[in-house]
Amino acid sequence: MLNSYTYSLFSRRMFNIMRRFTPDVEEYSIDEAFADITGMRRVLRSSYVGIAEQMKRAIERELGIGVSVGVSLTKVLAKVGSKHQKPSGLTVIAGRSITHYLEHLPAGKVWGIGPATTSYLAKLGVKTALEFARMPEAAVRKRFTKPSIEIWRELRGDSVYPVISREKSVYASISKMKTFAPPTSDREYLFAHLLRNLESACIKARRYGLAPRKILSLLRTQEFRDRGSEATLIRPSALPLELSGLLRELFEMLYREKELYRATGVVLLELTQDTNVQYSLFESPMKAEKIRELYEAVDSLSGRYGKHTLHLGASHPLEQQGKGKRGTPTVREETRLYGETQRRHLGLPILHVK
């Protein structure tokens, strides 16, 4: 079982292997990536399918893991393909094959389509991805917002989302946003979501040895109005236990009891290297060091049993009331290999090839 630091190094090796075949590799998450292999056939003397097969074999041979690969015209279709033969298959969705792969795929299983859009599509009599893709352009542009229109175009084989080929080793900021359905005004449930956003953002910051100087808290209303509040920390920290009190203050400044909210978000700003920590005159260095040691243990356990295995008590309502998930789980979340449990997963990265 890999801890979070080792897992990060493992995934970086995977991304570097992919870059042998194309410089255009987008690190979508720690265990998923997109690669644009357009124009590489002559250089590598192989077909696009052959390049994907070589890339897959290289990763499996050098890292000793299985990866799921989807090859297609667009990012959305490549994601569809990668889910088709999980956990270790290769699926090619050519233009002439799009209909075959979309005709039985529920619309809600498409990358980027969440519960609210799925429900709206159902009201229009649209149940499958193919039915959505076959909607007339005029109707789509009239009834949907830009993100849904872009997904509609991608499902039709029209590439809208480019592969952003930069290595994620330095971050100007780290943001985590969670949309849930139905909208709610429940104070503690909303704060639980906000705190879980903070925990997720801090996990990513610690993975890269970073800590923020500022944090920004966001609440999004049912009418898509955003309210935000920002605070400067007395010193950089990526430890939620040290930040939760400040986050509660920001939340109380934003929250309106009679307002319905559909999303919460946290942004870590002015990131700096988390080294040579200097404590303020008003802090207890001993207490601060104990909290740091605590999170070293938390990260170790999370590497073994899954992210958020240990979490702050104020975020626990999510475990009791549900997370109101919007959109489909990741391929890795949906895939449970022999011997795995909901909390315990092997570190098997998944990649998508466009």
Residue 335 within any structural domain of the chain: no
Are 224 and 103 in the same domain? no
Residue 248 within any structural domain of the chain: yes
Q: What is the pLDDT of residue 319?
A: 76
Are 107 and 133 in the same domain? yes
Is the Cα dihedral 132, 351, 332, 12 positive or negative? negative
CA distance 129 to 127: 7
Please choose, from the candidates 125, 123, 72, 122, the residue with its C-alpha nearest in 3D space to the C-alpha of residue 101.
72
Residue 96 within any structural domain of the chain: yes
Residue 247 within any structural domain of the chain: yes
**CATH number of the structural domain spanning residue 97:** 3.30.70.270
Residues β-bridged to residue 226: 220
- The answer to whether residues 216 and 269 touch, using CB atoms and an 8 Å cutoff, is yes
Q: Concatenated DSSP letters for 38-61?
A: TT-HHHHTS-HHHHHHHHHHHHHH
Are 11 and 123 in the same domain? yes
Give the residue numbers spanning the domain of 135: 4-155
Query: Helix, strand, coil: what percent of the chain each, to 5?
Result: 45, 20, 40
Are 210 and 297 in the same domain? yes
Are 146 and 201 in the same domain? no
CA distance 81 to 77: 6
Q: What is the pLDDT of residue 186?
A: 93
Are 76 and 193 in the same domain? no
Q: What is the pLDDT of residue 156?
A: 96
Please state the pTM of the whole predicted model. Answer: 0.53
Per-residue pLDDT of 37-54, as tens digits, reads 999 999 999 999 999 999
pLDDT, averaged per 10 consecutive residues of the chain (354 residues), comes to: 53 88 86 91 93 94 89 95 88 94 94 88 95 96 91 95 72 82 90 94 88 92 89 90 94 94 92 70 77 88 83 83 54 65 58 57
CA distance 119 to 127: 9
From the number of C-beta atoms within 10 Å of its C-beta (0-12, 13-18, 19+), residue 190 rates as: buried
CA distance 115 to 103: 19
Are 178 and 145 in the same domain? no
Are 143 and 177 in the same domain? no
Q: What is the pLDDT of residue 109?
A: 93
Residue tagged 């203050």 (tokens): 249
Residue 348 within any structural domain of the chain: no
H helix count then E strand count, the chain: 14, 9
- N-to-C CA span, the chain: 30
Are 210 and 306 in the same domain? yes
Alpha helices in the chain (DSSP H): 4-18, 41-44, 48-63, 75-84, 98-102, 115-123, 129-133, 137-143, 146-155, 187-207, 240-254, 285-305, 317-321, 331-334
**CATH number of the structural domain spanning residue 198:** 3.30.1490.100
Number of domains present in the structure of the chain: 2
Residue 337 within any structural domain of the chain: no
Residue 340 within any structural domain of the chain: no
